[in-house]
Amino acid sequence: MSSYYLTTPIYYVNDHPHIGHIYTTLVADTIARYRRLCGDEVYFLTGTDEHGQKIERAAAERGIPPIELADEVVSRYHSLWAELGISHDDFIRTTEERHTRGVEAIVARIAATGDFYVSRHEGWYCAACENYYTEKELLPGHRCPDHEIETELRSEENVFFRLSKYQDRLLEWYDSEPCPVAPPSRANEVRQFVAQGLRDLSVSRATVEWAIPFPAHEGHTIYVWLDALSNYITALGYDGDEVGDLYRSLWQGDGVRLHLVGKDILRFHAVYWPAFLMSAGLPLPTTVWAHGWWLRDAQKISKTVGNIVRPDDLMKSFGTDSLRYFVLREMVFGQDASFSDEAFIDRYNSDLANDLGNTTSRLVTLSRRAFGDCLPPRRGAGGALATAAATAIAEYRRTMDEFAFSRALEALWRLLSQTNQYLVAHEPWKKLKDPAASGEVAEVLWNAMEAVRVVANGLLPFLPEKAPQVLAALGVEPGGELSALEWGGLPTGAELPAVTPIFPRIDKKAYLADAGDAPPVGKPAKKPKRQKKEAAEKPEMIQIDQFFETQLRVAEVKAAEAVPKSKKLIKLTVDVGEDSERTVVAGIAGQYEPEALVGRQVVIVANLQPAKLMGVESNGMVLAAEADGAPILLRPEKPVPNGTRVK
Ligand code: MSP
């Protein structure tokens, strides 16, 4: 068993987490879960970066001590990681004593090699990067090239680290096989940066108090990046000569030591950190992997623009696994990706609710109907579907090993689509009542459900909550090893639980209207410049039994009133027969006066999951034809009893 140590960046505590922060951690968690299935001895570290001027200033703005701010944000991180099912083994805070001790030990080792010297320093300082820039690196107006905020000209006496001394060794390191910096495009950037020549690095600050004091340099504190980067070994118990077992096995052993980082902090991890370690005579990471940036509607996410994507609402509306799925499916690991509410809902409805959820529940329903609430007996060796599954598994494993998560998910979804094609080709629903076809129905359903079982096992690293639910729906336990991906694991004839929806469909229009950013009726949504074409909802053919899953009924409007503060919504009380009344919210206020609706019959979707619209719970949806963006209500040609089924 080989060791697999992986880390996320440690997050600044000056702000609460957004999608960019959770992304690295979700990727790390997916890798950790996958490697555990591969049988590796995984150790997964995350944490918080709590020192430095940025935190000092944020706390001062709130009028609280920095540690109080840190405690508050750290507790948010803890609860968020628990909600998102993050399976980290440790969470390090740079304000912990174990960390401070380790940093002092690293600084002492670097000092012993003679790689520190004191010198006066003048440069343009960005408080957000905690970094100095030269004039030519800046944007016009002396602005930081990364944060685009104004920098300050500072002159102070600092301790310097002889970074320039490590230029050749760093270049050699990048040339080692396999290249320790990934993906290759990023490795080239780093190589070029280093090849241009490295300047020594100022590693102390005379003006930052909220930091670790620099040993033997009174009045100086340790540069926050030297402090922060050290977390990767202080968390393992690195403490100078007295190293702990974890450090010995994970950092000195021959296993994987992987740092996952965003592209903006690659230089710190692929240049400064290895140089510090070289100087201290300590082993280097085996890989530094830099991913791209999340944009929103193709624009940079920023507080000033006010387009930050916070995970909280998304998790509340769609569940945490849907968020995990979206970010891993949508971003090609290494490149930038754009978040939009629409793209999120489209992915959710098409991939999770339809392809995964509906396929599972249809199969379970058919099998329960045909085999007395049980799985079918196994027949045959799986034929073409087993071959398709073997291809999908091979592709999945290869792409997971390459960190090509979106392609691994595509491979699983290809198998789902092949399963649906297989079902359409055999049409088992037409043969359920034919005793002569029972063997064929058993074979087709067993194979199709086995393919879904394989997919769900492949999804365990991505959807730790929902993938086990899909497996439970198929009457199986989640597999704890990759061998569970192999064909043949579905039991024969076992009892099947009744179907409950795993991914209830989201009403996109209602969600967007509720989120307050739906386009006004009749006007198309303005697309931000350069917005890439979002995945359009594909027109899919459905089976008749899928249509019958939707219950359409005639209902009579008994009362109607406008929803307060909404331009579009009307709250209807409708009678759906047998004296049962319910509330349905409809976006028809632009076209209809509430009073004119009373007494009128409409058609509603009667078995829709309840949804809240502007705070009012809606239990169904009124059908309307859309003409030039305006809703025109449907009604029966002549009055029929309330509750009459429409089909
Ligand atoms: N504290 C440093 C890291 C020290 S590691 C020794 C830091 N913290 S951070 O909170 O600002 O950022 C943490 C991570 O979030 C970085 O990897 C950064 O790339 C990532 N992201 C922040 N915004 C992002 C997006 N919009 N998209 C993707 N990731 C981005 O830097």
Q: What is the pLDDT of residues 16-43, one digit of tens each?
A: 899 999 999 999 999 999 999 999 999 9
The CB of 49 under 6 Å from ligand 1? The reply is yes
- For residue 150, report the distance from its CA to the centre of ligand 1, in Å: 20
Q: What is the pLDDT of residue 616?
A: 83
Alpha carbons 462 and 410: distance in angstroms, whole number: 13
Q: Is 98 helix (H, G, I), strand (E, B) or coil?
A: helix
Q: Is 466 helix (H, G, I), strand (E, B) or coil?
A: helix
pLDDT band at 148 (very low <50, low <70, confident <90, very high): confident
Per the annotation, the verdict on 21 as an active-site residue is yes
Per the annotation, the verdict on 303 as an active-site residue is yes
Q: Which of the following is catalytic: 51, 99, 144, 466? A: 144
Alpha carbons 270 and 280: distance in angstroms, whole number: 16
Q: CA 568, 598, 566 angle in degrees (round to 5)?
A: 15
| Prediction pTM value | 0.80
Residue 377 · residue 446 · CB < 8 Å: yes
Alpha carbons 234 and 243: distance in angstroms, whole number: 9
Q: What is the pLDDT of residue 133?
A: 87
- For residue 10, report the distance from its CA to the centre of ligand 1, in Å: 8
* CA-proximal residue: ligand 1, atom 17 (nearest): 262
Q: What average pLDDT does this structure show over 56-67?
A: 95
Q: CA–CA distance from 195 to each of 56, 174, 192 (Å)?
A: 35, 11, 5
| pLDDT tops 90 at residue 352 | yes
The CB of 455 under 6 Å from ligand 1? The reply is no
Q: What average pLDDT does this structure show over 572-592?
A: 88
598 is written with which tokens? 């009373």
- For residue 224, report the distance from its CA to the centre of ligand 1, in Å: 14
- For residue 81, report the distance from its CA to the centre of ligand 1, in Å: 16
**What count of residues does the chain have?**
647
The CB of 130 under 6 Å from ligand 1? The reply is no
Q: What is the pLDDT of residue 532?
A: 35
| pLDDT tops 60 at residue 610 | yes
Per the annotation, the verdict on 269 as an active-site residue is no
Alpha carbons 348 and 361: distance in angstroms, whole number: 16
- At residue 320, what are phi and psi to the nearest 5 degrees? -70, -35
| pLDDT tops 80 at residue 536 | no
pLDDT band at 540 (very low <50, low <70, confident <90, very high): low
Q: What is the pLDDT of residue 647?
A: 87
Alpha carbons 289 and 286: distance in angstroms, whole number: 10
Closest by CA to 268, choosing from 151, 131, 453, 108, is: 131
The amino acid present at 237, given as its one-letter code, is: G
Alpha carbons 301 and 616: distance in angstroms, whole number: 32
Lowest mean pLDDT among 116-130, 185-199, 252-266, 414-428: 116-130
Residue 495 makes CB contacts below 8 A (sequence gap 6+) with: 373, 374, 375, 475
Alpha carbons 103 and 233: distance in angstroms, whole number: 9
Alpha carbons 490 and 451: distance in angstroms, whole number: 9
Lowest mean pLDDT among 175-189, 482-496, 631-645: 631-645
Please report which helix (H) or strand (E) contains residue 30, including its range. Answer: helix 19-37
Q: Which carries the bigger pLDDT value, residue 121 or residue 194?
A: 194
- Parallel, antiparallel, or unpaired for β 294-296 and 299-300? antiparallel
- For residue 264, report the distance from its CA to the centre of ligand 1, in Å: 7
Q: CA 408, 411, 414 angle in degrees (round to 5)?
A: 150
Scanning 224-319, the segments in alpha helix (DSSP H) are 224-229, 231-234, 245-246, 266-267, 273-280, 311-318
Closest by CA to 108, choosing from 244, 245, 241, is: 241
Lowest mean pLDDT among 99-103, 151-155, 233-237, 309-313: 309-313
Q: What average pLDDT does this structure show over 561-586?
A: 88
Q: What is the pLDDT of residue 526?
A: 36
Distance of CA 148 to the CA centre of its chain: 27
Per the annotation, the verdict on 147 as an active-site residue is yes
468 is written with which tokens? 């086990």
Residue 109 makes CB contacts below 8 A (sequence gap 6+) with: 240, 279, 280, 281, 282
Q: What is the pLDDT of residue 523?
A: 29
**CA dihedral sign, ordered 491, 497, 498, 500:** negative
| pLDDT tops 70 at residue 525 | no
- For residue 211, report the distance from its CA to the centre of ligand 1, in Å: 20
Per the annotation, the verdict on 126 as an active-site residue is yes
Alpha carbons 367 and 374: distance in angstroms, whole number: 7
| pLDDT tops 50 at residue 185 | yes
Q: Is 518 helix (H, G, I), strand (E, B) or coil?
A: coil
Residue 447 · residue 462 · CB < 8 Å: no
The CB of 17 under 6 Å from ligand 1? The reply is no
The CB of 14 under 6 Å from ligand 1? The reply is no
Alpha carbons 112 and 101: distance in angstroms, whole number: 17
- For residue 268, report the distance from its CA to the centre of ligand 1, in Å: 12
Mean pLDDT of the chain: 90
Q: What is the pLDDT of residue 516?
A: 55
| pLDDT tops 90 at residue 446 | yes
Query: Of the segments 360-374, 519-533, 585-599, which one has the largest average pLDDT value?
Result: 360-374
Lowest mean pLDDT among 50-59, 103-112, 170-179, 569-578: 569-578
The CB of 592 under 6 Å from ligand 1? The reply is no
Q: CA 408, 414, 418 angle in degrees (round to 5)?
A: 150
Q: What is the pLDDT of residues 301-323, one digit of tens each?
A: 877 677 888 888 889 888 999 99
Q: CA 542, 544, 548 angle in degrees (round to 5)?
A: 110
Residue 192 · residue 296 · CB < 8 Å: no
Residue 9 makes CB contacts below 8 A (sequence gap 6+) with: 24, 49, 259, 260, 261, 262, 265
| pLDDT tops 80 at residue 137 | yes
Q: Which of the following is catalytic: 51, 54, 88, 129? A: 129
The CB of 337 under 6 Å from ligand 1? The reply is no
47 is written with which tokens? 């944490």
The amino acid present at 159, given as its one-letter code, is: V
Prior bond to 285 cis, omega within 30?
Answer: no
| pLDDT tops 60 at residue 517 | no
pLDDT band at 543 (very low <50, low <70, confident <90, very high): low
Q: What is the pLDDT of residue 171?
A: 98
Q: What is the pLDDT of residue 34?
A: 98
Q: Strand 294-296: give its sheet, edge to edge.
A: 299-300, 294-296, 337-339
The CB of 10 under 6 Å from ligand 1? The reply is yes
The three-state (H, E, C) secondary structure of 318-355, written as one string: HCHHHHHHHHHHHCCCCCCEEECHHHHHHHHHHHHHHH
**Residue 616 CB-density burial (10 A; 0-12 exposed, 13-18 middle, 19+ buried):** middle
Q: Which carries the bigger pLDDT value, residue 528 or residue 551?
A: 551
Alpha carbons 348 and 346: distance in angstroms, whole number: 5
> Helix crossing, 405-426 with 438-458: angle to 10°?
170
Alpha carbons 432 and 436: distance in angstroms, whole number: 10
Per the annotation, the verdict on 374 as an active-site residue is no
The CB of 308 under 6 Å from ligand 1? The reply is no
